[in-house]
Amino acid sequence: MNPDRPEQLTIHEASQRLADGELTAEALTEAVLNRIAAVDGEVKAYLTLRPERALEAAQAADQARAEGSAGDLLGIPLAVKDVLCTKEMVTTAGSRILEGFVPPYDATVVTRLKEAGAVIPGKTNTDEFAMGSSTENSAYFTTRNPWDLSRVPGGSSGGSAAAVAAGECLAALGSDTGGSVRQPASLCGVVGLKPTYGRVSRYGLIAFASSLDQVGVLAKDVRDAAIMLGAVAGHDPRDGTSMDLPVPDYTTALTGDVRNVRVGVPEEYFTDGLQPAVERAVRAAVETLADLGAEVQMVSLPHTDYALPVYYLIAPAEASANLARYDGVRYGVRSESESLEDMYRRTRGEGFGSEVKRRIMLGTYALSAGYYDAYYLKAQKVRTLIKADFDAAFDEVDVLVGPTSPTTAFRIGERTEDPLQMYLSDVFTLSMNLAGTCGLSLPCGFDEQGLPIGMQVMGPAFGEGVALRVAHAYEQATEWHTRNPAL
Amino acid sequence: MELSRETVEHVADLAKLSLADEEIATYQAQLSAILEHFERLQDLETEQIPPTATVLPLRSVTRADEVESCIEREEALKNAPDTEDGCFKVPPVLEQA
- DSSP β-bridge partners for residue A455: A403, A442
Question: Per-residue pLDDT for A1 more than 80?
Answer: no
Residue at B20 is within a domain: yes
Q: Where are the domains of chain A?
A: 10-301+388-482
Strands A191-194 and A215-219: antiparallel
Phi, psi angle pair for A182, to nearest 5°: -70, -40
Please, what is the average pLDDT of chain A? 97
**pLDDT cut 90: percent of chain A above it:** 97
Confidence of residue A7 (pLDDT cuts 50, 70, 90): very high
Write out the residue range of the structural domain in which residue B20 sits.
5-43
| Residue among A81, A123, A194, A220 flagged as catalytic | A81
A333 touches chain B (CB under 8 A): yes
Query: Which H or E run includes A419?
Result: helix A419-423
Residue at B36 is within a domain: yes
Global pTM value: 0.97
Q: What is the CATH number of the domain that holds B34?
A: 1.10.20
d(CA A431, CA A211): 13
Supply the pLDDT for residue A420. 86
Contact between A276 and A411 (Cβ < 8 Å)? no
Q: Which residues from A are below 8 Å from B63, CB to CB? A: 237
- pLDDT string in tens for chain B (97-residue length): 689 999 999 999 999 999 999 999 999 999 999 999 999 999 999 999 999 999 988 678 888 899 988 889 999 999 999 999 999 999 988 876 5
Q: What is the DSSP string of A269-321?
A: GS-TTS-HHHHHHHHHHHHHHHHTT-EEEEE--TTHHHHHHHHHHHHHHHHHH
A435 touches chain B (CB under 8 A): yes
Residue at B31 is within a domain: yes
Residue at B14 is within a domain: yes
A242 catalytic per annotation: no
Residue A259 burial (C-beta neighbours within 10 Å; 0-12, 13-18, 19+)? exposed
pLDDT tens-place string over residues A348-384: 999 999 999 999 999 999 999 999 999 999 999 999 9
A180 catalytic per annotation: yes
Q: A361, B61: Cβ pair inside 8 Å?
A: no
Supply the pLDDT for residue B97. 59
Mean pLDDT confidence for A6-13 = 97
Interface predicted TM-score of the whole assembly (ipTM), two decimals? 0.95
Q: A381, B12: Cβ pair inside 8 Å?
A: no
Residue at B22 is within a domain: yes
- Facing residue for A320 by CB, picked from B15, B19, B88: B15
Q: What is the DSSP string of A358-414?
A: HHHHHHHHHHSTTTIIIIIIHHHHHHHHHHHHHHHHHHH-SEEEEESSSSSPPBTTS
Q: Which residues from B are below 8 Å from A105, CB to CB? A: 71
Residue at B90 is within a domain: no
Supply the pLDDT for residue A273. 86
Question: Per-residue pLDDT for A3 more than 80?
Answer: no
| Residue among A15, A95, A134, A156 flagged as catalytic | A156
Q: How many domains does chain B have?
A: 1
Mean pLDDT confidence for A119-124 = 98
Confidence of residue A414 (pLDDT cuts 50, 70, 90): very high
Q: Which residues from A are below 8 Å from B94, CB to CB? A: none
Residue at B10 is within a domain: yes
Mean pLDDT confidence for A441-464 = 98
pLDDT tens-place string over residues A171-221: 999 999 999 999 999 999 999 999 999 999 999 999 999 999 999 999 999
- Facing residue for B16 by CB, picked from A197, A310, A345: A345
Supply the pLDDT for residue A417. 87
Show Cβ contacts of residue A432 under 8 Å, excluding neighbours closer than 6 positions.
A194, A390, A438, A439, A458
Mean pLDDT confidence for A459-466 = 98
Contact between A292 and A477 (Cβ < 8 Å)? yes
Taking domain A10-301+388-482, whether its CATH number is 3.90.1300.10 is answered by yes
H-state helical runs in A71-144: 108-115
Residue ranges of A 188-227 with Cβ closer than 8 A to chain B: 197-198, 211
- Facing residue for A362 by CB, picked from B16, B19, B31: B31
Q: Which of A468, A66, A174 is nearest to A153 (CA)?
A: A174
Q: A382, B41: Cβ pair inside 8 Å?
A: yes
Mean pLDDT confidence for A11-38 = 98
Mean pLDDT confidence for A459-480 = 98
Instruction: List the helix and strand counts (H, then E) for chain B.
Output: 3, 2
Residue at B26 is within a domain: yes
Q: B19, A339: Cβ pair inside 8 Å?
A: no
